[in-house]
Amino acid sequence: MEEYLKIEREKEWRVELRTKLKNKERTTIERVQMPGLDPIERIQYQDREVNLGLDEASAITEASRCMDCVNPTCIEGCPVSINIPKFIKNIERGEMHEAAKTLKETSALPAVCGRVCPQEKQCEAQCFYTLKLKKEPVAIGYLERFAADFEQNSGSISVPETAEKNNIKVAAIGSGPASLSFAGDMAKLGYDVTVFEALHEVGGVLKYGIPEFRLPNRVVDVELASLEKMGVKFERNFIVGRTASFDDLKEEGFHAFFVASGAGLPRFMNIPGENFNGILSSNEYLTRVNLMNAAKSEFDTPVLRGKNIAVIGGGNTAMDSVRTAKRLGAERAMIVYRRSREEMPARVEEVLHAEEEGIEFLNLNNPIEYFADENGRVNRMRLQKMELGEPDASGRRRPVVVEGSEYDIPVDVVVVAIGVSPNPLVPSELPELKVSRWGTIEVDPETMQSSIPDLFAGGDIVRGGATVILAMGDGRKAAAGMHQYLQTKQNNLVSEPSAIKNAD
Amino acid sequence: MANLATQFFGLELKSPVIAASCSMTGDLEQIKKLAKAGAGAIVLKSLYEEEIDTQLQEELSQRKALEPDPEYLDYFDYIIKDENLKDYTGLIRQAKQAVEVPIVASVSCISQSDWVLFSKKLEEAGVDALELNLFLLPANLEKSGEANEQFYFNTVKKVLEVVSIPVTIKISHYFSNLAAMIKALSETGIAGISLFNRFYSPDIDIQNEKMISADVLSHASDYLLPLRWTGILSSQTSCPLAATGGIHSAETAIKFLLAGASAVQVASVLYNGGTEAIAGMNQEIATWMDAKGYDKIDDFKGKLAIRDKHVALYERAQFMKYFTQKDF
User: Residue B165: CB partners within 8 Å, gap ≥ 6?
Assistant: B10, B123, B127, B128, B129, B130
CB A431 within 8 A of CB A424: no
Chain A residues touching B73 at Cβ < 8 A: 345, 394, 396
* CA distances from residue A282 to A134, A174, A327, A412 in whole angstroms, order as listed: 37, 20, 15, 15
Identical fold, A169-264+422-502 and A266-420: yes
Residue A450 — pLDDT band, cuts 50, 70, 90?
Answer: very high
Q: Look at residue B323 in the predicted model and tell me its pLDDT.
A: 54
Closest-CA distance of chain B to residue A230, Å: 29
Distance from the B200 Cα atom to the nearest Cα atom in chain A, whole angstroms = 22
Percent of chain A with pLDDT over 90: 79
Q: What is the third-level CATH fold of A169-264+422-502?
A: FAD/NAD(P)-binding domain (3.50.50)
Q: Are B33 and A426 in contact (CB under 8 A)?
A: no
Q: What pLDDT does B66 receive?
A: 58
CB atoms within 10 A of CB A67: 20
The whole-number pLDDT of residue B80 equals: 86
Q: Is residue B1 part of a domain?
A: no
At residue A501 the predicted structure's pLDDT band, cuts being 50, 70 and 90, is: very low
Mean pLDDT of A485-502: 67
CA distance A217 to A212: 6
Across A133-141, average pLDDT? 96
Residue B126: Cβ within 10 Å count:
15
The predicted model gives A194-221 an average pLDDT of 94
Q: What is the pLDDT of residue A499?
A: 43
* Per-residue model confidence (pLDDT) at position A258: 98
Single out the residue of B55, B120, B53 nearest to residue B89, CA to CA: B120
CB contact under 8 A, A419 and B71: yes
In this complex, do B82 and A316 lie within 8 Å of one another by their Cβ atoms? no
B66/A313 touch (CB, cutoff 8 Å), yes or no: no
> According to the model, what pLDDT value does residue A210 have?
93
In angstroms, the CA B140 to CA B325 distance is 42
Nearest to A418 among B60, B74, B113 (CB): B74
The per-residue pLDDT string of chain B (328 residues; one tens digit each, 9 = 90 and over) reads 799 999 999 999 999 999 999 999 999 999 999 999 999 999 999 998 888 888 888 877 776 655 556 667 777 778 888 889 999 999 999 999 999 999 999 999 888 888 888 999 999 999 999 999 998 888 889 889 898 899 999 999 999 999 999 999 999 999 999 999 999 999 999 999 999 988 788 999 999 999 998 888 888 889 999 999 999 999 999 999 999 999 999 999 999 999 999 999 999 999 999 999 999 999 999 999 999 999 999 999 999 998 766 777 777 777 656 555 556 5
- Give the three-state DSSP class for B116: helix
Q: Which of B65, B66, B69 sits opposite A345 (nearest CB)?
A: B69
CA distance A278 to A373: 11
Residue B73 touches chain A, beta carbons under 8 Å: yes
Question: Is the Cβ–Cβ distance between B4 and B11 less than 8 Å?
Answer: no
**A338 neighbourhood in chain B, CB within 8 Å:** 77
Are residues B154 and A403, on separate chains, in Cβ contact within 8 Å?
yes
How far is B187 from A36, CA to CA, in rounded Å? 64
H/E run at residue A27:
helix A23-28
Q: Which residue of chain B is at minimal alpha-carbon distance from A266?
A: B75
The fold of the A2-154 domain, in CATH, is Fumarate Reductase Iron-sulfur Protein; Chain B, domain 2 (1.10.1060)
pLDDT on residue A304:
86
From the centroid of its chain, how far is CA B234? 17
- Give A445's contacts in chain B (Cβ within 8 Å): 65-66
Q: Does B176 map to a domain? A: yes
pLDDT band at A495 (very low <50, low <70, confident <90, very high): very low
ipTM: 0.74
Instruction: Tell me which H or E stretch contains B205.
Output: strand B202-205
The answer to whether residue B129 is domain-embedded is yes
Q: What is the pLDDT of residue B199?
A: 79
Q: Which residues of A touch B56 (CB under 8 A)?
A: 392-393
Provide the pLDDT for residue B326. 56
Min CA distance, B154 vs chain A (Å)? 9
Per-residue pLDDT tens digits for A341-372: 988 889 889 999 999 999 999 999 999 999 99
User: Residues of A at the B interface (Cβ-Cβ below 8 Å)?
Assistant: 267, 269-272, 313-317, 338-339, 343, 345-346, 366, 368, 384, 392-394, 396, 399-401, 403-404, 406, 418-421, 438, 445, 462-467, 470, 474
Does B65 touch chain A if contact means CB atoms closer than 8 Å? yes
Residue of chain A minimizing CA distance to B72: A465
* Contact flag B70-A366 (C-beta cutoff 8 Å): no
Helix, strand, or coil (residue B208)? coil
C-alpha–C-alpha distance, residues A427 and A424, integer Å: 6
For B209-231, what is the HEC assignment?
A: CEEEECCCCCCHHHHHHHHHHHH
Residues of B in contact with A313 (CB under 8 A): 74
Amino acid at B292: K
Distance CA A119, CA A126 (A): 10
Strand, coil or helix: what is B233?
A: helix
pLDDT of A245 > 50? The answer is yes
Enclosing domain of residue B227: 6-324
- Give per-residue pLDDT as tens, A159-177: 999 999 999 999 999 999 9
CA–CA gap between residue A198 and residue A175 (Å, rounded): 9
CA nearest A315 in B: which residue? B71
Instruction: Tell which of A76, A78, A117, A270 to mutate to test the B interface (max B CBs under 10 Å).
Output: A270
Nearest chain A alpha carbon to B76:
A419
> From CA B34, how far away is CA B44, in angstroms rounded?
11
CA angle B45, B48, B52 (to 5 degrees): 120
What CATH number is given to the structural domain containing B168?
A: 3.20.20.70
Look at residue A303 and tell me whether its pLDDT is greater than 70: yes
Tell me the C-alpha to C-alpha distance, in Å, between residue A434 and each of A473, B58, B218: 22, 20, 41
Residues of B in contact with A371 (CB under 8 A): none
- Which residues from chain B sit within 8 angstroms of residue A392, using beta carbons? 56-57, 60
**B59 falls within a domain:** yes
pLDDT above 70 for A187: yes
Residue B319 is predicted with a pLDDT of 64
Contacts 24+ apart (CB under 8 A), A387-394: A388/A339, A388/A340, A388/A343, A388/A364, A392/B56, A392/B57, A392/B60, A393/B56, A393/B57, A393/B58, A393/B59, A393/B60, A393/B61, A394/B60, A394/B61, A394/B63, A394/B68, A394/B70, A394/B73
Question: How many domains is chain B built from?
Answer: 1
Average model confidence (pLDDT) across chain A = 92
As a whole number, mean pLDDT of residues A189-194 equals: 98
Considering only residues A490 and B260, tell me which one the structure prediction assigns the higher pLDDT.
B260
DSSP bridge pairs for B11: B8
pLDDT at A234: 97
Q: How confident is the model at residue A25 (pLDDT cuts 50, 70, 90)?
A: very high
Q: What is the mean pLDDT of residues A76-97?
A: 96
Cα–Cα dist A504/A167, whole Å: 7
Tell me the shortest Cα–Cα distance from B7 to chain A, in angstroms. 32
> What's the rounded mean pLDDT across residues A171-192?
96
Q: Output DSSP code: residue A236.
A: -
Domain A266-420 classification at class level: alpha beta
Strand partners for A410: A380
Phi and psi angles of residue B122, each rounded to the nearest 5 degrees, phi first: -70, -35
Q: Decide if A465 and B71 are in contact by the 8 Å CB cutoff.
A: yes
Cα of first residue to Cα of last residue in chain A, in angstroms, is: 34
For chain A, the structural domain boundaries read: 2-154, 169-264+422-502, 266-420
Measure Cα distances from A480 to A2, A172, A305, B220 in Å: 18, 14, 46, 65
Higher pLDDT, A259 or A155: A259
Residue A497: per-residue pLDDT: 44
Amino acid at A228: E
Which residues of chain A neighbour B60 with C-beta distances below 8 Å?
A: 392-394
